[in-house]
Copies of this chain bind each other. A is one copy, B any other.
């Protein structure tokens, strides 16, 4: 029995486009920040008397439910991957719960697969260092989950299977930033990221995105090292727009932005022009992450919640990585 907590993360430089769907290798490196208020807690227990895996998911403010279909398959496939490494075939019970709503546009799979990987390897007493853990987590299919293992500000490197690991660039206390998620649409039809990771290369703009990646990774590392919000923010917005440009120009095109997305983008740009320094970034959905100095967090949360297009917000500071916690009972 082992229990782990892992954070969701927000990417400043996005993982977009998969060059190897078996090993889950990206076309480019990415940099993210763990979120301190968006956590998944997962416990895993193995028992030789069970003859199948049981996966129980408890979404935010909902009753626990037994997972089936694609959700269960992904968990079982990852358990199998770890059982193979440990040389066991024992079945497991996996119980997982989130501190944040599933429809908030926060990639819950990153937190989920980071917590699952850490709890499962601990329950099986596998001795893996952090780098190996990030590589194993990446293989879950949620590649960016590997970024939820190390603490604080994290880079996931582009490389072959061995070289495609994540590591911390700075601990959470290095820089007091805030990420306020402006949830604009909880009803929008979901467009999964899996298919679009494979369609990215059909965009004539994808090569231009990749040509600019090294410069943006360098700028982002430098911005984090010297706590330069302007450099981080401008680089981050360029990268997010570039990712969505690829989606809008792939074949067939995919538009993640909604009316609310555009309302928040325009508001953030207008507030910034007036002197309140904040920057937007957007993952594979309509909701907008607004990044600012920790000292501006309350003001920005207030302004975002006042926009008619914003349903609610979720504010985060920099978070620790995945960690084991004492299991109950």
Interface residues of A (CB under 8 A from B): 204-205, 207-208, 211-212, 237-238, 241-242, 245, 248-249, 253, 255, 257-263, 265-266, 269, 309
Contacts and interface: CB of A to CB of B under 8 A. Distances in A.
B255 A265 contact: yes
Contact of A208 (B205, B238, B262): B205
A275 B179 CA distance: 40
A66 to B, nearest CB: 34
Nearest to A203: B208
Contacts of A261: 262
B263 A259 contact: yes
Contact of A205 (B237, B245, B258, B259): B245
Contact of A266 (B237, B255, B309): B255
A269 B249 contact: no
Contact of A241 (B253, B260, B266): B253
A234 to B, nearest CB: 9
A249 B258 contact: no
Contacts of A257: 262
Contacts of A253: 237-238, 241
A30 B257 CA distance: 28
A241 B203 CA distance: 12
Contact of A259 (B242, B248, B260): B260
Contacts of A207: 208
B212 A208 contact: no
Contact of A204 (B212, B262, B263): B212
Given A204-B211, A205-B205, A208-B204, A249 B259 contact: no
Contact of A269 (B204, B255, B262, B263): B255
Contacts of A237: 253
A214 to B, nearest CB: 13
Contacts of A263: 258-259
A68 to B, nearest CB: 29
Contacts of A269: 255
> In the complex, which of the residues A258, A259, A261 has the most CB atoms of chain B within 10 Å of its own CB atom?
A259
25 contacts: A204-B208, A204-B211, A204-B212, A205-B245, A207-B208, A208-B208, A237-B253, A238-B253, A241-B248, A241-B249, A241-B253, A242-B249, A245-B245, A245-B248, A255-B262, A255-B266, A255-B269, A258-B262, A258-B263, A259-B260, A259-B262, A259-B263, A259-B266, A261-B262, A262-B262
A322 B208 CA distance: 41
A237 B248 CA distance: 10
Contacts of A212: 204
Nearest to A241: B248
A230 to B, nearest CB: 13
A305 B237 CA distance: 33
A188 B258 CA distance: 18
Contacts of A204: 208, 211-212
